[in-house]
Structure 1
């Protein structure tokens, strides 16, 4: 094994935070047990799997904001498209950067970008449609204005970064022609490996959002599961992958359609697992694995036909909010342990900072920021976990506009939701005064006991009132970003 000379202290570990966008717990956990995901199985064997990790929101923008801020969506308020990420306290990367960490971010999701404020604290922040973090974003030139205006803006930007700007433009053209079977995992992994291999004496914080297994599902053929290979190619290629056509009942789907989608989804995770394995191997080859806190999590889950839904909106079901969360760091976490205590994804924030800068950070952040690191859950987790869905996304009027033939009442989704999950039960309230109660003994079923219901209501009363956003005006997003988000089904 290669021996790397480094003055990094075990008291200041490297941090590698990998987000598997849209990964739900049941599929990941069953795949780990079945040996389908060997890299994730390795982390589970060498670290901790939290099997009751709850996302603070069911979709990307507010969930990542909670991870980066330690706050609930109702505190950081980054959950609609007119709100940039600007938490009450300091973003995770900023605290680490101020403490001397080298900070690198890579996002394949169009919500998690500098355009929405997520680069604060990162020395470098990469996007999948650019070749270099330097250079001007040419999409702003190409989006609008006359040809003369475009050329005028282009020449204004011909500064010392001009070669990087041109490179990004050419790369964007190339990528649009060659990325049919990859949502960025190949290039993301290549850059992460290079950053690990070329890291300096300071500890690093590397964050990456991998878009696999987000819709649309199109894994490389060699990662198809055995079950998927039983279907005709035409059946796989023709299955509907537009969630809103299905939710609006404009398209009918049967059990075989969803069986195919579930296997495509699992196949995408197989591909992602292989790429994660390359990153872990690089850490090991650089003799940095035990010096690195490795955290792998889903930011939210996915409906694949359950509850008559596809995608991850308009609901706070367990399929969306119960996510995989794995941690490997021998200095603080034991090997091969499954923890059933409740934790929230925003607990990643204090977990990283307690290990990297000590608890001194806590006196500088507001009370809304989580102080409950994941290591405390080894003995006792949270009394309850909270998830919030404070504004429909896509907006209902946008959804009606994009669906060819709406066949159902979409207004029932036009509301905010909040859930409280205890180890035994769950309560969901809505802004239009609906309530749902569930218990988990012997499987998920309605909670009938009125005293248990009242206990959940009392917990909910400790939280701020559930209200819709007062302002849902569009953000000043570039046209290209809106197009990309629309392609993903968001707006």
Structure 2
């Protein structure tokens, strides 16, 4: 059986029609989910941003155990991922242009495609940027190029990749907007995904992360008419990074106007995903649709908009239904393994398809407090200048209507009855009593990566 896991990066539950009184931004996904899927209305992300959340989803472990989080955004391995486990029975593929997925999490896949690597004329040949990051061969430039060219067994194509990379140097991501530019690659990822699963010689596992609804945003005229009626494009913050390093009243745009643009971008994306999703379901593919975290334009790492995410599982022979119990995306590796192989794969937790009561959801935040955090309460992914500072470890625990937070070394009760809150705090204290893992790999970003991080609001 093919398995496809789709991450709609930065999609908040409250920004969808799955939420009570939510905007009708994903009518196609909602229609398909109602008729074919298992819809979870109380699903939460295990981390506040891409590094921690993806690491936890891949491993089924807390970010502190996986070792990849905002204080150390690199996966050093040592813990099996869902790709490692499924590799025994499936051909595994990773599709994305989210750079955090290529910081160690990609090692368990048979093939990976970073759609930001637009300089690659031949993706089956050697990637010069990846090669020279990992290898520093001695000798003259001619000898270095010879080793590079012969590394993948396709010397001519590899050299053409190298020549195109040098030609483009520094302008690898075009500045124009459109589906195939910047971070809007839905159609390209859809086409690649279909090409992979349409090959019937072996079962396949595909993890695809879409960045189309991650700021900076653009949207079609039709979408803007629906969600920002009466506003011209000049009045909308099109192409503007989220400016999360400053307070909301200091931004160059009105946050509520950015939200309109966000909803329009989500609606556009829903139209692009719809036919691919239906095709996968008709082919009896297990499909998981969720997000790594919600929108982070205005809110802190601990807010409902950031942590509460949509989750729909489409599994052959599973009746469509709605699950209103609290769950965490960290249980997805166990869910996939049990459904596909009948075994746990060594992942903790229980299958979400068997949930009949509220689980304890844990979101763990490990970061280096800096000037942005002190000013806005929003966390940053580590910059090199903060790498030697002390790590702050925060928790958000949710079960049903109960919620407690451990932030800045203090427990705070947000909602819930006394007995449940006591249980949640005790559970959290057990987590805090365990050491957290911080990888050993030095974190260095090239100029292109740093530019991407700035565009996306991480730096």
TM-score (norm 1): 0.77
1:358 aligns with 2:347: no
Deviation (angstroms), 1:474: 4.9
1:135 aligns with 2:122: no
Alpha carbons 2:56, 2:63 under 8 Å: kept: yes
Number of positions where the alignment pairs a residue of Structure 1 with one of Structure 2: 429
CA separation in 2, counterparts of 1:279 and 1:238? 27
CA separation in 2, counterparts of 1:466 and 1:388? 13
Deviation (angstroms), 1:220: 3.6
1:84 aligns with 2:70: no
Q: Report the CA distance shift for 1:245/1:429 in structure 2 as closer, same or farther (over 3 A).
A: closer
Unmatched 5+ stretches in structure 1 = 1-12, 401-407, 440-446
Pairing partner for 1:299 from 267, 292, 298: 292
CA separation in 1, counterparts of 2:132 and 2:85? 35
Determine the structure 2 residue equivalent to 1:14: 2
CA separation in 1, counterparts of 2:163 and 2:175? 15
CA separation in 2, counterparts of 1:170 and 1:133? 13
1:322 aligns with 2:308: yes
What is the SS of the residue equivalent to 1:84?
Answer: coil
Determine the structure 2 residue equivalent to 1:424: 401
**Alpha-carbon displacement from aligned partner over 1:140-163 (angstroms, at most 9, x marks no partner):** 6999x9xx9877644542223341
Determine the structure 2 residue equivalent to 1:71: 61
Unmatched 5+ stretches in structure 2 = 380-390
CA separation in 2, counterparts of 1:200 and 1:168? 33
Q: Report the CA distance shift for 1:266/1:225 in structure 2 as closer, same or farther (over 3 A).
A: farther
CA separation in 2, counterparts of 1:412 and 1:124? 35
Alpha carbons 1:43, 1:327 under 8 Å: kept: no
CA separation in 2, counterparts of 1:252 and 1:190? 37
CA separation in 2, counterparts of 1:187 and 1:168? 23
Determine the structure 1 residue equivalent to 2:384: none
CA separation in 2, counterparts of 1:169 and 1:180? 26
What is the SS of the residue equivalent to 2:54?
Answer: helix
CA separation in 1, counterparts of 2:266 and 2:5? 17
Determine the structure 1 residue equivalent to 2:255: 258
TM-score (norm 2): 0.82
CA RMSD of aligned residues (A): 3.4
Matches within 5 A, 1:107-118: 107-113=96-102, 116-118=103-105
**Alpha-carbon displacement from aligned partner over 1:254-287 (angstroms, at most 9, x marks no partner):** 7xx2222112111221222122213124436xx5
Alpha carbons 1:110, 1:481 under 8 Å: kept: yes
Matches within 5 A, 1:283-432: 283=280, 288=283, 291-305=284-298, 309=299, 314-331=300-317, 333-335=318-320, 337-359=321-343, 361-362=344-345, 365=346, 369-377=347-355, 379-382=356-359, 384-392=360-368, 396=370, 409=375, 415-430=392-407, 432=408
Determine the structure 1 residue equivalent to 2:214: 214
Alpha carbons 1:37, 1:273 under 8 Å: kept: yes
CA separation in 2, counterparts of 1:480 and 1:63? 23
What is the SS of the residue equivalent to 1:475?
Answer: coil
